[in-house]
Structure 1
Amino acid sequence: MKVERVSIHKIKMPLKQPFITALNTVHERKLLITELTFQDGTVGWGECSAFDTPWYTEETLDTCLHVLSTYLIPALYEIGEFDHPKAIHALFNRYRGHHMAKSAIETALWDGYAKSLDRPLFQVLGGQSGEIEVGTAIGMQSDKEALLQRIQEAVDIGYKRIKLKVKPGEDLEVLETVRSHFPDVPLMVDANSSYTLADLNHLKKMDRYNLMMIEQPLGSRDFVEHAELQKVLDTPICLDESITSFEAAQTAIALKSAQILAVKLSRVGGLAKAVRIHDLCKRNGIEVWAGGMIESGVGKAHNMALATLDGFAYPGDIAASSKYWEKDIITPEIEVQDGNIILSERPGIGYEINMGALKAHTEETLEY
């Protein structure tokens, strides 16, 4: 394989409704869509899922674009021909961090590589089943009625797990309301690092609500205090923001900071790094699930392929295209049926790019 051209599409996609978390409210999603054209004419597609400001991670779309154009794309051309996407990591490792920028190239390489083999990406990664269970995340709502309506809509679609965003002052009362209406729905909460260890007794009260997990209750880079909290909680802790690398996952496991890890391939540097974390967790009896970051269909398709690996024990945050977008940039759009997504058997990510939709959302295309 040899890359002959790199195109980066800077796109902006308005959400159907704002997505509200403890940290920020997202009204529109700006993304970088990477298009790699190989010597044989094959095209691979990837995505940079950083946000436009550093509210969630240190990386932003601007920092990613700088790193891509200044370092990573030249490194990609430097490698010349290569046999496998993993080969790019030897070059990329000379540059510390910038995982989302690296993932934007690496995922497109995987798509092109799978297409060159005439195989679906999920099979190339080692997935055994072309069907995955999925859940959905529901942002904070303006009132209880709106929240209950969003949950009912998700239940009607058949999502296998509901994730609620919580923060201090908007947590126990919310859970009380939800559990009174939905006593049996598989439910978890995501705090986005909005609590401290001083809230231990308060967080302990969440045990009464039969939650699947509490995601990232404490600091985004913390492992020690999460370990202390997990000792006293009956509810499993899930680390999300803390899992930025294979080494971070090792630390979490060694310190017993959590019972579950959320793996976001873009945050850890791509598919190869995510698979390595999956394998580590499987060896150590730690369950994982595939997190989402309000991606376009391109990013979701890569997440879906990753989620087919057998260590992903929980439904991932991989909602239907129609949840967020009036029109996605892939065709056909991603659909959820009875809480499941059936992956395409076509080569690569299994979806074509809707060039009309891509053009409509594109603010600028850069060629390298």
Structure 2
Amino acid sequence: MKIKSIKLRHLKMRMKFDFTTSFGTLRNKEFILLEAVDEMGRSGWGESVAFTAPWYTEETFRTNWHILEDFLIPVILDKKIEHPDQVTEWFSYIKRNNMAKATIEGAIWDLYAQTTEQSLAQALGGTHKKIEVGVSIGIQKSIDELLKIIEQYIYEGYKRMKVKIKPGWDVNVMKAIRNEFPNLPLMGDANSAYSINDIDTLKALDEFNLMMIEQPLGSDDILDHAVLQKVLKTPICLDESINSFEDARKAIENGSCKIINIKIGRVGGLTVAKRIHDYCQTKGIAVWCGGMLETGIGRAHNVALTSLANFTLPGDTAGSARYWEKDIITPEVMVDNGYIHVPDQPGIGYQIDLNAVNTYTVFEKVYSLA
């Protein structure tokens, strides 16, 4: 397989609602859509999950475009690719920039699955035919409003609720949810909003029988998470701290967490995500797939990854209709009573709606050797 051309598109889509976390509020999603075309004219698709500001990691929409255009695309064009794992090796000399790497690597995985006449899930070694999904709920204007939202998602069949928390919006929120929904699978996501000095507040959350607390401390922290996990009954799940296989290995060896959230963009692509999954499986560490407010293309990659055996906890891959009036794939990702069925068609398993893509496209550029 050789990549003869790559098209980058700048898309802008408006979400159905404001999504608020401890680091900011998002309504308009701008992102890069990458189309890689091989010598047979087949297209593989990848999506950048970087935001326009460096809230979540240091990467942004603009830095991703720069890294793709000036470094990653020149490495890939017209090079013979036997397997997508090679792409990770070729990109290894470039430090970090994992979301940019995952954007192009995801498109190569899509093409590889098409070329070998497999679904992306099959190409990755997935075994689940359907995956359990939960939902991530941002910080709301009031607890009453939050409870109404949770009630609606329970009615729709979602298997667990992830509620964003921050100092001042934590213990009282979880207490109210537990009083209203005593048996609800529930977790809190702090997005690094706390420090080790907040240990008493975090210990107070033990009362509410949470599945986990996600990333309570700093994104670059491994040591203090280990200190915190020793005094918490609630499992710590690491998210922003895990940017590589080595981060995962060190966190597990240090006892910094009992669960890991694997996000394809954060770790640099499907190859690294699968490697982390496999290692966690050998160590008895549960994993789940986090979301980054993706469109259908990124969502399709998440579904395929979550088909791997050790994804035993519901992920964040909710249906397309929760986020978008119209997604850019057909059919859209659908949730059926808390489950998404894993596509078995070659590649990502969904068709690209080019009319929708063109509607949302702000700018595009094609790269080729010709």
Structure 1: unaligned runs, 5 residues or longer: none
* 2:349 partner SS: coil
Structure-2 residue corresponding to 1:11 = 11
Establish whether residue 234 from structure 1 lines up as the match of residue 233 from structure 2: yes
Structure 2: unaligned runs, 5 residues or longer: none
The whole-number CA distance in structure 2 between the counterparts of 1:289 and 1:90 is 25
Q: So what's the TM-score if we normalise by structure 1?
A: 0.99
Structure-2 residue corresponding to 1:127 = 126
Structure 1 segments (4+ residues) deviating >6 Å: none
Q: Is the 8 A contact 1:122 1:130 kept in 2?
A: no
Q: CA deviation at 1:88?
A: 1.4
* 1:154 partner SS: helix
Q: Is the 8 A contact 2:307 2:342 kept in 1?
A: no
Structure-1 residue corresponding to 2:51 = 51
Q: CA deviation at 1:187?
A: 0.2
Structure-2 residue corresponding to 1:346 = 345
Query: Which amino acid is 2:43 matched to?
Result: V
The whole-number CA distance in structure 1 between the counterparts of 2:128 and 2:64 is 33
Aligned ranges 1:294-305 → 2 under 5 Å: 294-305=293-304
- Count the aligned residue pairs: 367
Structure-2 residue corresponding to 1:36 = 36
* 2:6 partner SS: strand
Structure-2 residue corresponding to 1:308 = 307
Q: CA deviation at 1:145?
A: 2.1
Instruction: Tell me how large the CA RMSD over aligned residues is.
Output: 0.8
Q: CA deviation at 1:201?
A: 1.3
Structure-1 residue corresponding to 2:68 = 68
The whole-number CA distance in structure 2 between the counterparts of 1:354 and 1:4 is 22
Q: Is the 8 A contact 2:130 2:342 kept in 1?
A: yes
The whole-number CA distance in structure 1 between the counterparts of 2:66 and 2:42 is 26
The whole-number CA distance in structure 2 between the counterparts of 1:130 and 1:136 is 20
Aligned ranges 1:1-368 → 2 under 5 Å: 1-77=1-77, 80-368=79-367
Offset from partner CA, 1:316-353 (integer Å, 9 cap, x none):
11010011111111110011011000022111100011
The whole-number CA distance in structure 2 between the counterparts of 1:294 and 1:11 is 14
The whole-number CA distance in structure 2 between the counterparts of 1:215 and 1:182 is 20
Query: Which amino acid is 1:84 matched to?
Result: H
* 1:317 partner SS: coil
Q: CA deviation at 1:96?
A: 1.2
Offset from partner CA, 1:28-75 (integer Å, 9 cap, x none):
111111101110111100111000111111010111100111010000
The whole-number CA distance in structure 2 between the counterparts of 1:238 and 1:345 is 31
Q: Is the 8 A contact 2:131 2:339 kept in 1?
A: yes
The whole-number CA distance in structure 2 between the counterparts of 1:244 and 1:89 is 14
Q: So what's the TM-score if we normalise by structure 2?
A: 0.98
The whole-number CA distance in structure 2 between the counterparts of 1:31 and 1:229 is 35
The whole-number CA distance in structure 2 between the counterparts of 1:175 and 1:98 is 35
Q: CA deviation at 1:129?
A: 2.0
The whole-number CA distance in structure 2 between the counterparts of 1:89 and 1:231 is 35
